[in-house]
């Protein structure tokens, strides 16, 4: 039937667009910081995503050029660029997913926490606008230090009366992407088949790859696991040093950000069993935030009161279920305990900034 309608239509490309939009709901994605090192390739990847119908690109500098450029790509979404503070509301209005890569990146010798003084204020302002213009959007926080910017966002939303812990995510997907790549190299297994949960936070020792749960299974020595863990934890620094003052990971981050936003969209659209790791509110540890493994899908149940990166199941309302940590090796248990003081202080720093 589809082929017939194509051949009988006077304009086949219009038929194809109609066919796609019949099957896929309208979804607006807004990128805040769209003209930056991450923002540009991420905007490109979101333009290639058939789940997106409207793509709003916002930055305080250089947005018109990026938006004009991306808008010429012949995919489903309509692209609109927004260039000034006065246009931020329009960029956010009606957004289903807001991705935030706005803020300064690291230079060699800096920690992610060294970015706090500049990025905390940027994130706070953007989240205030989100609370006002699209309080129901799923927020994907990329700006560093994620361990503090996510708590800042949570406090801003609480103050505005719009906080829904199911809808706020620290993007830790790049840690998972790295862990998969490094594991595949050592385990000699096809990288496309690899899964490695990464929990905790997104900075140094707070990044906890769970190689004991990696699949396909491989018999790696303790030395190799220790080295893989360290390389995953130092992955960001490896890129910062290689870029020698020209910023941090942008291309791999754009890829990771696009994977995570796609998972959020699939969850919103009711695709079952969508699982990703993310830094979300949970009760898995006594800490208020921890990166978790999630599944995006249909029904809604939640249980959380701390923030931690974990595997989570994503659904029509964002986080549907925070999955447990699973069995940890002694090495991983030790890593978890070591990570807690740093994670706790980064979370508290964010909360203090946003509440004072």
Q: Which does 277 bind (CB under 5 to 8 A by kind): ligand LMR, ligand NAD, none?
A: none
Measured from the CB atom, is 76 or 182 closer to ligand NAD?
Answer: 182
Reply yes or no on whether 202 is catalytic.
yes
Measured between alpha carbons, how far is 136 from 71 in angstroms, rounded to an integer?
26
With contacts defined by CB under 6 A, name the span among 28-36, 236-244, 262-270, 322-330 that binds ligand LMR: 236-244
Measured between alpha carbons, how far is 101 from 156 in angstroms, rounded to an integer?
18
Measured between alpha carbons, how far is 73 from 90 in angstroms, rounded to an integer?
22
The residue from 29, 99, 249, 287 that contacts ligand LMR (CB under 6 A) is 249
The residue from 41, 81, 103, 201 that contacts ligand NAD (CB under 6 A) is 103
| Backbone angle region of 200, left / alpha / beta, with phi > 0 → left and psi within -120 to 50 → alpha | left
Q: State whether residue 298 is helix, strand or coil.
A: coil
Residue 193 C-beta: closest distance to ligand NAD, Å = 23
Burial pattern 7-45, b for ≥16 Cβ within 10 A else e, equals eeeeeeeebeeeeeeeeeeebbbbbbbbbbbbbbbbbeb
Measured between alpha carbons, how far is 168 from 103 in angstroms, rounded to an integer?
18
Regarding 110 and contact with ligand NAD (CB under 6 A), the answer is: no
Binding mask 153-192 for ligand LMR (x = CB under 6 A): ---------------------x------------------
Regarding 105 and contact with ligand NAD (CB under 6 A), the answer is: yes
Residue 101 burial (CB count, 10 A): 27
Regarding 232 and contact with ligand NAD (CB under 6 A), the answer is: no
| Residues recognised as catalytic | 202
Judged by the rule CB under 6 A, the positions of this chain that interact with ligand NAD are 32-33, 35-39, 58-61, 101-106, 115, 119, 122, 125-126, 142-144, 146, 171, 174, 202, 247-250, 253
């Amino acid at each position: 039937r589809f082929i017939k309608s194509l051949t009988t239509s006077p304009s086949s490309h219009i038929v194809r667009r109609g066919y796609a939009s019949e099957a896929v709901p309208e979804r607006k994605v807004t990128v805040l910081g769209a003209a930056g090192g991450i923002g540009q390739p991420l905007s490109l990847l979101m333009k290639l995503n058939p789940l997106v119908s409207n793509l709003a690109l916002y930055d305080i500098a250089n947005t018109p050029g990026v938006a004009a450029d991306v808008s010429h790509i012949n995919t489903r979404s309509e692209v609109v660029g927004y260039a000034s503070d006065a246009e931020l509301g329009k960029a956010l209005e009606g957004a289903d997913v807001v991705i935030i890569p706005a803020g300064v990146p690291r230079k060699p010798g800096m920690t992610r926490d060294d970015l706090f003084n500049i990025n905390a204020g940027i994130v706070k302002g953007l989240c205030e606008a989100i609370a006002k213009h699209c309080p129901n959007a799923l927020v994907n926080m990329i700006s560093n230090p994620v361990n503090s910017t996510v708590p800042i966002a949570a406090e801003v939303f609480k103050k505005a009366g719009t906080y829904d812990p199911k809808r706020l995510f620290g993007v830790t997907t790049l840690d998972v992407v790295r862990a998969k790549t490094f594991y595949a190299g050592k385990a000699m297994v096809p990288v496309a088949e690899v899964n490695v949960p990464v929990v905790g936070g997104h900075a140094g020792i707070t990044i906890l790859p769970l190689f004991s749960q990696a699949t396909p299974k491989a018999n790696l020595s303790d030395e190799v696991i220790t080295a893989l863990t360290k390389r995953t934890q130092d992955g960001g620094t490896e890129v910062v040093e290689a870029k020698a003052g020209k910023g941090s990971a942008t291309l791999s981050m754009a890829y990771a950000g696009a994977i995570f936003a796609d998972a959020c969209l699939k969850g919103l659209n009711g695709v079952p069993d969508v699982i990703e790791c993310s830094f979300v509110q949970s009760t898995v540890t006594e800490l208020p935030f921890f990166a978790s493994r999630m599944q995006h899908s249909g029904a809604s149940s939640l249980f959380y009161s701390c923030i931690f990166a974990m595997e989570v199941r994503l659904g029509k309302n964002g986080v549907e279920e925070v999955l447990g940590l699973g069995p940890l090796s002694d090495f991983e248990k030790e890593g978890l305990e070591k990570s807690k003081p740093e994670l706790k202080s980064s979370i508290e720093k964010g909360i203090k900034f946003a509440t004072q």
